[in-house]
Structure 1
Amino acid sequence: MRKGDFIWGLLLLLFGFILIFPATHNVFISLTTNHPYLMGFVKLSILATMGELLAIRIGAGKWKKPSGIVYRAIIWGFFGMVFAIMFPLFAGGVNASIDAGLLPGKNSNLLFAFFTSALMNLTFAPTFMGFHRITDAYIDLSDKENSNVTLKKALNNIDWEGFVSFVVIKTIPLFWIPAHTVTFLLPPEYRVLMAAFLSIALGAILASASKKKVNNA
């Protein structure tokens, strides 16, 4: 085991310890409840960045720091703050729709979770994912060109066909909707954290699949 593997695993275990140990668990719940935006930033900026590092580790076979890692972490933190409002927004909207008879599933936690996940991933998720592609392209180009990067350059540097055909059409129905159905079965204070862990999981899955495809080529 490499030193980087040990450090990465240790950080993940630390998060698990925080959730399991009663004293730190209570602090986590209190902070998440009273400071949702701050905690959303902290959770996503750390865990999602860990996910990016793991994906690179799996794909390249070694630990490499991506370009603009600090900016990437800040952007992930911003997304965590967005999730802190979007998750209850969609959950509350689905509950209101069920109560109004616009959706079936009264008294069904599973249907509530499914509808919330489906509506969020079919409407909000593509916008979020597309914006994230733009920020990633902007960071990558800034690192390569060391000059002012325009929005047009960033947009032209993105494989939009691949984004739609794979990320939107495949990962949303096959991964994100089922995964976030589980997310919305959890108590609200764990949902943004679950989203962060799912980012790690999907990054690892895609990196492993990509590496296997290259090895079999």
Structure 2
Amino acid sequence: MRKNDIVFTLILSLSILVFLPYNFLESFQNTFLFNSKYWLLTSFLKFALLSTLGESLGLRLKKGVYNQKNFGLIPRAIVWGLLGIAIKIAFEIFAIGTPALLSHSFGIVNAVESMKNNSIFDAINVGLGGTRLLTAFCISAFLNLIFAPVFMTLHKITDMHIVENQGTIKGFFSPIKFYKIFPTLNWSVQWEFVFKRTIPFFWIPAHTITFLLAPQYRIAFAAFLGIILGLLLTIAAQKSRD
């Protein structure tokens, strides 16, 4: 194992460690990491760190390095942080709106009640386990069918913007030329792989699990999924060149 691999493994391990239920971390987790008062900052930091680690891992698998000239590690982290905030907002909207829709329009009367339970285990204890599972699946499905395609396309556009500006921070803050980038997207890969395969076969099941968890763990779990996203982006980039 090379030195950079050891450093990456150490950073990843520490990133995972802070979320684990150890007594010595309880104060930090309760006062900051899982404290809803700081949702804006923590959402930014979780995605900026974990999802960027995922992209670095993808680069390692593709090029043999975790960072390189023009890769734009800091701009990518900024983008992921901002997208993390957007994801947190989307989670709140769909986690509240979908159960209400299921209850009012689809006759699933306990949908809202099932989501009031902290986790799937609490829902099972009160006889709402099946309803919680169905509701979590519907939240994930609506989230990924409505929000995810826009989110994924926006991320791809920002990614291309970073590359076009050689990964520099100054270039990153220049106006994004949507009118030039949008037509040059590889829509074949975006549709055939990113939308048609990753959404139904990975993201909907993965986010179903997300909404079975207690609310304070959802955005952290979603951020960890960003590591897997880095691998998926690597595959998508490879397909774009094929």
- TM-score over 0.5 for the pair: yes
Identity between Structure 1 and Structure 2 (%): 38
CA shift, 1:193, in A, is: 1.1
Query: Which of these residues, 157, 162, 169, is aligned with residue 189 of structure 2?
Result: 162
Matched residues in 2 for 1:100 and 1:113: separation?
Answer: 16
CA shift, 1:37, in A, is: 0.9
| 1:15-57 residue CA offsets vs partner (Å, 9 max, x unmatched) | 2221222232442243232211110000000100000000010
Matched residues in 2 for 1:167 and 1:208: separation?
Answer: 10
| 1:99-124 residue CA offsets vs partner (Å, 9 max, x unmatched) | 32525373321111100000000000
| 1:154-194 residue CA offsets vs partner (Å, 9 max, x unmatched) | 22332122111110111100100001111111111111111
Query: Which of these residues, 35, 48, 53, is aligned with residue 51 of structure 2?
Result: 48
CA shift, 1:203, in A, is: 2.5
Relative to 1, partners in 2 of residues 1:205 and 1:169: Cα closer, same or farther, differing over 3 Å? closer
Query: Which of these residues, 83, 88, 91, is aligned with residue 87 of structure 1?
Result: 91
Query: Which of these residues, 218, 227, 232, is aligned with residue 191 of structure 1?
Result: 218
Matched residues in 2 for 1:134 and 1:22: separation?
Answer: 42
The aligned counterpart of 1:11 is 11
8 Å contact kept, 2:144–2:199: yes
Which shows bigger deviation, 114-123 or 58-67?
58-67
Runs of 4+ in 1 over 6 A off after TM superposition: 146-149, 208-211
8 Å contact kept, 2:40–2:85: yes
RMSD of aligned C-alpha atoms?
2.6
CA shift, 1:137, in A, is: 1.0
8 Å contact kept, 1:53–1:63: yes
Matched residues in 2 for 1:208 and 1:153: separation?
Answer: 24
Matched AA of 1:38: L
- Structure 2: runs of 5+ lacking an equivalent: 111-127
CA shift, 1:94, in A, is: 1.6
CA shift, 1:210, in A, is: 8.3
- Structure 1: runs of 5+ lacking an equivalent: none
The aligned counterpart of 1:118 is 141
* 1:132-147 pair list within 5 angstroms: 132-143=155-166
Relative to 1, partners in 2 of residues 1:2 and 1:208: Cα closer, same or farther, differing over 3 Å? farther
Matched residues in 1 for 2:165 and 2:57: separation?
Answer: 23
Relative to 1, partners in 2 of residues 1:67 and 1:157: Cα closer, same or farther, differing over 3 Å? farther
The aligned counterpart of 2:79 is 75
- TM (normalized to structure 2)? 0.78
Matched residues in 2 for 1:195 and 1:85: separation?
Answer: 13
Matched residues in 1 for 2:107 and 2:47: separation?
Answer: 31
Matched residues in 2 for 1:171 and 1:148: separation?
Answer: 30
Which shows bigger deviation, 77-86 or 42-51?
77-86
The aligned counterpart of 2:124 is none
